[in-house]
Amino acid sequence: MKPASLKTQVSSGGVIFRKHKGRIEVALIAVKGGTVWCLPKGIVNKGETPEETALREVEEETGLKGNILGKIGQISYWYFIKEENVKCKKTVYFYLMQYVSGSTDNHDWEVDESAWFPIDEAINKIAFKGDREIVEKAKRMILDNG
């Protein structure tokens, strides 16, 4: 078989949070039959800014609308796209978002679940180290800003 070729992708997503009963909660989505909890995100479309993508994808995937408070950071990982025999390096930008409206019941049919978790529980539930570090950084940003 021919060696895999390489490509890059850029996605954008968010940590959307609210204060609920005196606790900070963040929304996560579950994929792969509900087994993998991660942050909402998606590909940055042509003509879209990463901020616009983050707002759109968070709303589509979690059912929640938010306001961007600032950039948290970015992560990168490699994965293999079997159908294309391509190795892909994905970079994902993440933004901190304050919850405005909406319900996790209105999540995208493409994700298995969308739910609020107390922030420390979310950190424990997340499947990927990169996403986990982003939520840890988001927690520091929220606590620093009261």
Question: Residues in the site for ligand ATP, rule: CB under 6 A?
Answer: 11, 38, 41-43, 75, 77, 79, 90, 128, 130-131
| Rounded least distance, CB 128 to ligand ATP, Å | 3
Which of 42, 102 has the CB closer to ligand ATP?
42
Which of 38, 135 has the CB closer to ligand ATP?
38
| Rounded least distance, CB 131 to ligand ATP, Å | 5
Which of 5, 19 has the CB closer to ligand ATP?
5
Look up residue 11 and give its two tokens.
């996605």
| Rounded least distance, CB 127 to ligand ATP, Å | 8
> Residue 141 in contact with residue 119, Cβ under 8 Å?
no
Which of 73, 130 has the CB closer to ligand ATP?
130
| Rounded least distance, CB 76 to ligand ATP, Å | 9
How far, in Å, CA of 96 to CA of 136, rounded?
12
